[in-house]
Amino acid sequence: MRILFTLCGRAGSKGVKGKNARDFLDIPLVWYSMAGISLYIERYLSDNDRVDVVLNTDSEDLIKLVQQVKELNVHVLPRPNELAGDTVPKVAVIKDCLERSEKEFRVDYDVVVDLDITSPLRKVKDIKNAVDKKLSRPEVDVVYSVTHSRRNPYFNMVKEDNGFFCKAIPSSFTTRQEAPAFYDMNASIYAYSTKAIKEKHQATFFNSNCDAIVMFDTGILDIDSEEDYELMQVVAKYLFENDPAFKETFIKAKDWK
């Protein structure tokens, strides 16, 4: 098996200033994703497997943090200016990672796995589940992580229409259990088809031919505001103290201090 792990983070951020290079419970945020990769390699891969890890960024601070960790070899790919804007699709950055890594390492990868830096709360088994599902379904373009949605557009989500509020999708369901199930993409794990990364339209990449794994949902959010940043640390502290599967990633990252 040949896996390319990607870590992608811009220097700028409108929601949380410099969030990719910030600390999270006194540990660099990016180290949580790196710890997940390190534990996955230790636990599930053999000497016959090939794993490369790359950081795609224009942030010197983020590069310094990643290079402090000697246990995990992360190759830095400086991000081109044309991929550093607010509106650049993440898939475009993943494609850049894949094409440059294939050329530099001379490897044809079976799967590209992106771990979002701003989603530090994941279990190593979640990474395995995403990789395994993608490898078992070569026809799927991407397997991404989701959580059970707490709201349902058929039941308790509404929209404004001509001065009134109404259900987002008209229905006669009287309980959420009757309505079709919905899920939230939690921006944590993405296991991509290399072919799809190269060929599929980026703006509509997630509109079709996808599969998903379901992760633990309580508080598993990506950090997109200062409020998220503060709240997630409270949730993370609780999970690290009470769930060994979350705690081991924290311990691994903490050992790198």
Task: Give the integer Cα–Cα distance in Å for 147 and 220.
Answer: 8
Burial 89-118 (b: 16+ CB within 10 A, else e): ebbebbbbbbebbbeeeeeebbbbbbbbbb
The interaxial angle of helices 60-67 and 29-44, nearest 10 deg, is 40
Task: Give the integer Cα–Cα distance in Å for 205 and 159.
Answer: 26
pLDDT of residue 99: 98
DSSP label at 6? E
Domain with 107, as residue range(s), is: 2-254
pLDDT of residue 2: 98
Gap between the terminal Cα atoms of the chain: 31
In order along the chain (257 residues), what is the average pLDDT of each group of 10 residues?
96 70 95 98 96 96 96 96 87 97 97 95 97 98 94 95 96 92 94 98 95 84 82 93 96 96
Number of domains in the chain: 1
CA distances from 59 to 13, 18, 47, 54, 79 (A): 11, 9, 33, 14, 9
pTM for this entry: 0.93
pLDDT of residue 16: 65
- CATH code (residue 33): 3.90.550.10
